[in-house]
Amino acid sequence: MRIGIGNDHAAIELKYEILDYLIEKGIEVVDYGIGEDEKIDYPLISETVSNAVVSKEVDYGIVICGTGVGVSISANKIKGIRACVCSEPYSAKLSKEHNDTNVLCFGSRVVGSELAKMIVDAWINAEFLGERHLRRVELIKKLEK
């Protein structure tokens, strides 16, 4: 699994913590985000990570801002992206199982790093369940047209 990660200036520290955490797990990570002393408007980083997912440069994306709201709204504007903002692991798990999310968002001002790791674990370990959920995801895709 190859994951693209991105962040705005509100989430630099948390981005690095999650990046290291994923690498420790043996997951390949591409860092599209910014580092110390840099600034970026959240729609731009969301766009970069989302496009990397759509073009299959990476399998999934994780985008972090202050609340997770701005990056999730932005990511969902990109055709082919199903992003969700999660503040707990249950929604993260079900977002993959039921909604086939391909971008996970959370907020550095909302969740601490340990909770963020639990959210990430729940999401990357979950799989889309298909069946009735496939029909619903197909209906979501129709909304993009």
Based on the residue annotation, tell me whether 133 is a catalytic residue of this protein: no
Nearest to 115 by CA among 38, 52, 21, 48: 21
Q: Which of 9, 65, 84, 86 is catalytic?
A: 65
Measured from the CB atom, is 59 or 113 closer to ligand RB5? 113
Site residues (vs ligand RB5, CB under 6 A)? 8, 10, 42, 65-67, 69-70
Measured from the CB atom, is 67 or 101 closer to ligand RB5? 67
Q: Is 9 strand, coil or helix?
A: helix
> In the complex, which residue's CB is closest to ligand RB5?
70
Full strand arrangement of the beta sheet holding 28-31: 28-31, 2-7, 60-65, 103-107, 83-85
CB atoms within 10 A of CB 27: 16
Closest approach of Cβ 46 to ligand RB5, in Å? 10
Closest approach of Cβ 85 to ligand RB5, in Å? 9
Supply the residues annotated as catalytic.
Answer: 65, 98
